[in-house]
Each structure stands twice: as C-alpha cells, then as structure tokens.
Amino acid sequence: MGEDKTTTVAVAYTLAYVAPEVLNGKRQTRQSDIYSLGATLRQFLIGRPAFAAATNAALIAQILSYPPMPLMVDIPSELVDLLDMMISKDAADRPETAAEVEDALRAIQQNRPASFTAPAQIVNSSKATISVPEATTVEPGDVTERIAPPYVTQPFFAQATLSPPLVRLADPVVLAGHDGSVNAIEFSPDGSKLVSASDDRSIIFWDTASGDIVRKVEGHNDWVNAVAYSLEGDKVATASDDNTIILWDATTGTEQHRLAGHTANVNSVAFSPDSSTLASASFDGSVMLWNVDDGTHQQTLGDTLDLNSVHSVVYRSDGFAIATGSFDGTLILWDAETGQKQLTIEDHTDWVTSVAFSPDGNVLASGSVDGTTIVRDAITGEKYYKLDAPVARVNSVAFSPDSRSLATAGTAGLGFWDVASGRKQNSPTSDFAHGVISLVAFGHDGTKLATVGADESATVWSLAPNSH
C-alpha cells in the first residue's frame, strides 16, 4: 500500500522498544539498552510486541503505566523471568549487562541454573500470577464457554480469579440534533470532537465537552450508516445506503472525494492505521480498498462477490490484517497487502453485527444477532471464550484504549467485560445506559464513552473505574 505505510509501522515498532525512563526524558543507559533487547527478544520469540496500540500516545501510555500482554506461548519459566526482568518498568530490576543476559540464555538453553536472580516482585509482570485470596472466585454465568487454545498457557486465564475493577458511567451529555435514527458515532483521535451519522442523511460534528453542534453537513442521498475518523483526525469517511462513500475534511466539513463502486448499501468503513487506505464493506458482498489521497479504487479483497452481505470491517492496529463480519454469520481475516483470505471462521449462528480488534492488536471480538460475543486471538483466530446472552442480540462491540476492557451493546443494554477473564465489570451503582443500545464507542484517552439508543440522540458519558 505504498512507502508511507511501511515508514509509519517502522516508527511505531521502534517506539515499542524504547525504555520507560527514556520516554520520560531521562538519559539512555545500559539498562535502557537491556530493555530494548528484551523487547526485541520477546517479539522474536512470540511474534508480537509486549505493547502495541493504534496511536503513539496510547503506546507510550501502555509502556509507562500498564503491564505487558501475557506471554501466550509455552516457554520455560526461567525465560519468562528473564524477559520480565529485561522489560521491567524499573531499570534497577533489569540485568546490568548484555553479557549477563547471554549467560542467562545459555543457562536456560543448557537446562542449568541461571546466574541471575529474579526480583521477588517484578512490577507489571507478564505472567499474571498475582496472589489473590482463595475466597475470590469467578461468578457463574458471565463466561458461558472458555476454550484455551493449546499454545496459550494457563496464566493468561489465571486472571479469571481476580475481581476486575467495575465500570461507572456518570455525567451524561445528550447530543440531540439529528432528525432521524443515529446509525454511527466516533470520537476524534484527540477526543475533543465526535462525529455522528444518521438516517436523516446528515453527519454532525460535536464538541465532546459541551455537547454543542460544531457543524452539520449533508452530502449523501440516503441514510448514512457508518462513520470513521482518520488517525490524524484530519479526515472523516461516511458510508451510505446511496451505495457511496464520502471523504470529508474534518476541519471544514467540505467533501473531498466521493467513492463510487459498490452496487448496494455501504454498511461500514475503516481507515488503515496509517490513514493511506480506506476499507468499505457493502450489502453487495464486496469489501473494497480505496486510496485516501485521491479517492481511487485500489482493490477488492479476494473473490468477495460470492460473499454474503458484509456488515462490518476493521483493520488490525499493525495494518497487516483486516477483519470482516457478514450477514451469514461468518468472520473472515484478510491479508491487507495481498487481499487474500487468511481465515474463515463460522462459529456464530446468525448475522455478525460488529467486529473489533483490541488497540494492542492481540485480541479480536465479534458480536452477533445470535446473542453471543466471541473473543479470540487476533492472529490465529483461536477462540478464548464466548459471552452469551441468549435472549438478546449484540449490536456493537468496542475495546477500551488500553485493551483491558470490552464493551458490548445490544437489546440487553450495555455491558463491560474484563478482557483477560471475561468477567462482567458493570457497576450496580452507576447511572447506567439501559434499554436497547445500538452502538458504543470509547474516547481515545479512555475517559469518555459514547452510546446510541433507539431514539434520535446519542449520549456521552464520563467513564471511570469504580471498585464499589
């Protein structure tokens, strides 16, 4: 997809190897180099970085404040200890020299005691072996099915014994301005604005803090079904029942390009992480990729004309894969470069309404009219667990910016789930969104949430953990 994408991905992955103290402006030391080496070894061994996110700001926040994703491969515990030491937040906990790391690796390879001693408590360990009281147990009924893939070690699911923080919604701000049902809503990357799309053929730009209308524009000739912001925040894409996509200048609200090629309703749009390409999914059964700069059609994924109507499309945060969900219940992973199918998954029994990758690129969630949300590995497609609401349909799924929480919206209202354990995080004391919820979207800093109900308005909530 061009040189720009390669450059952007390279910069993002370089940042993922930078030690926390360097990100905080301190001088780089030997321990900083050990961190970078540890991050590189981890990437080499398990095929994914310790930290990943869709934006540099989110990536830095993860490196500074969050534990790494669990090691989802079966490797010796001594190697896990070494890798944890090397990417410890505290430089003092890391090995002092590369020679010490080499000696430890040789010892592990030769199955003899390593010369290093792991600290008693490594902050933000990836092993997730946290001590909890024996009385703390998983409440029944949250996760109806948990399948650990054979390559996933038990520590990933050990967090199921923890009590995840509850989520509290408060300070609702109602956005009223459309004259028809609201079909889509998304925050700008900096969180200061939202854009919504409606059956009234308009899109509205809103001020997040005040709920005031910044700009209302029209351009489509039928219902507007989907909206997406580019990562830079300078462009917005909308999809419509008029079979077209429009690229808008997000600052002025002026139309830049009108993309025509689908032969039926366009249901979903998604920008690639470098914003150079736009993917669109249609009722005609096709998924098309478009050049954002000039609006030209680049390719159609695979032989998609034999597919059932495609309802949802999303890019993985590394830009190398695309996921689609269809009306026939199938979920497909595509190679974003070649346009070829990687995986076809058929474990939903009805229309897949929504698909979402976690911002770190490790987990994929899909929601369906069959009442289930399935959480799986974003690369292999292996299922971790299924959330079941047999009397309800799931309309929308979305991950929090730190990839730790999953929100589901549907006929049973709004739900929050701890990604590692599958346990529900809804706070009973919250001023919560009830009734039918058709859409849910997180703000990019994790402090705001937008929901859309069955009326002609949307609501912006303040979002905070609540341990009570």
Band (399; pLDDT cuts 50, 70, 90): very high
Asked if 283 and 407 sit in the same domain, the reply is yes
Interhelix angle 56-65/3-15, rounded to 10 degrees, is 20
Q: What is the mean pLDDT of residues 87-105?
A: 90
What pLDDT was estimated at residue 392?
Answer: 77
Q: Residue 124 domain-assigned?
A: no
What pLDDT was estimated at residue 432?
Answer: 55
Tokens of 347: 């474990």
Q: Residue 160 domain-assigned?
A: no
Asked if 102 and 201 sit in the same domain, the reply is no
Asked if 186 and 107 sit in the same domain, the reply is no
Query: Of 53-57, 184-188, 390-394, 427-431, which range is least confident?
Result: 427-431
Task: For 140-184, write each residue's pLDDT tens digit.
Answer: 334 444 333 332 333 333 333 344 567 778 888 999 999 999 999
Whole-number Å distance between alpha carbons of 219 and 291: 20
Average pLDDT score over the chain: 81
**First CA to last CA distance, the chain:** 48
**R_g over Cα of the chain:** 22
What percentage of the chain has pLDDT greater than the value 70? Answer: 77
| Domain limit, last residue, from 84, 118, 152 | 118
What pLDDT was estimated at residue 61?
Answer: 74
Q: Residue 136 domain-assigned?
A: no
Asked if 181 and 94 sit in the same domain, the reply is no
Q: Which amino acid is at 42?
A: R
Q: How far is CA 310 from the centre of its chain?
A: 20
Asked if 231 and 380 sit in the same domain, the reply is yes
Band (72; pLDDT cuts 50, 70, 90): low
Q: What is the mean pLDDT of residues 217-240?
A: 96
62-93 burial: b if 16+ Cβ within 10 Å, else e: bbeebbbbbbbeeeeebbbbbbbbbbbbebeb
What pLDDT was estimated at residue 156?
Answer: 34
CATH of residue 194's domain is: 2.130.10.10
Tokens of 372: 């289930």
Q: CA nearest 243: which of 258, 227, 228?
A: 258
Asked if 80 and 183 sit in the same domain, the reply is no
Please tell me which residue, 305 or 201, carries the higher pLDDT value. Answer: 201
Q: CA nearest 133: which of 109, 161, 97?
A: 161
Task: For 235-291, write each residue's pLDDT tens digit.
Answer: 999 999 999 999 999 999 999 999 999 999 999 999 999 999 999 999 998 999 999
What pLDDT was estimated at residue 270?
Answer: 97
Asked if 364 and 432 sit in the same domain, the reply is yes
CATH of residue 24's domain is: 1.10.510.10
Asked if 347 and 207 sit in the same domain, the reply is yes
**Is 360 exposed, middle or buried, given 0-12, 13-18 or 19+ CB atoms closer than 10 A?**
buried
Q: CA nearest 94: which of 112, 76, 117?
A: 117
Q: Residue 126 domain-assigned?
A: no
Whole-number Å distance between alpha carbons of 129 and 449: 31
Q: What is the mean pLDDT of residues 2-14?
A: 40
Per the structure, the complete domain to which residue 91 belongs is given by 3-118
Asked if 189 and 96 sit in the same domain, the reply is no
Q: Residue 138 domain-assigned?
A: no
Tokens of 142: 């949250």
Asked if 114 and 175 sit in the same domain, the reply is no
Check: CB of residue 150 under 8 Å from CB of residue 377: no
Task: For 343-388, write each residue's pLDDT tens digit.
Answer: 999 999 999 999 999 998 889 999 999 999 999 989 888 898 998 7
305-332 burial: b if 16+ Cβ within 10 Å, else e: eebebbbbbbbbbbbbbbbbbbbebbbb
Domain count, the chain: 2
This prediction's pTM: 0.69
Res. 417: pLDDT tops 80: yes
Asked if 231 and 317 sit in the same domain, the reply is yes
Asked if 383 and 260 sit in the same domain, the reply is yes
Check: CB of residue 70 under 8 Å from CB of residue 126: yes
What percentage of the chain has pLDDT greater than the value 90? Answer: 47
Q: Residue 356 domain-assigned?
A: yes
Tokens of 131: 């001590």
Q: CA nearest 124: which of 72, 83, 84?
A: 84
Whole-number Å distance between alpha carbons of 419 and 197: 29
What pLDDT was estimated at residue 62?
Answer: 74
Query: Of 96-100, 221-225, 306-310, 369-373, which range is least confident?
Result: 306-310
Q: Residue 151 domain-assigned?
A: no
**Residue 166: CB partners within 8 Å, gap ≥ 6?**
425, 426, 427, 430, 465, 466, 467, 468
Instruction: Report strand pairing: 352-357 vs 341-345.
Output: unpaired
Task: For 295-335, write each residue's pLDDT tens digit.
Answer: 999 999 865 555 568 999 999 988 889 999 999 999 999 99
Q: Residue 155 domain-assigned?
A: no
How far lies 389's CA from each of 32, 78, 141, 430, in Å? 47, 41, 10, 21
Q: What is the mean pLDDT of residues 29-43?
A: 90
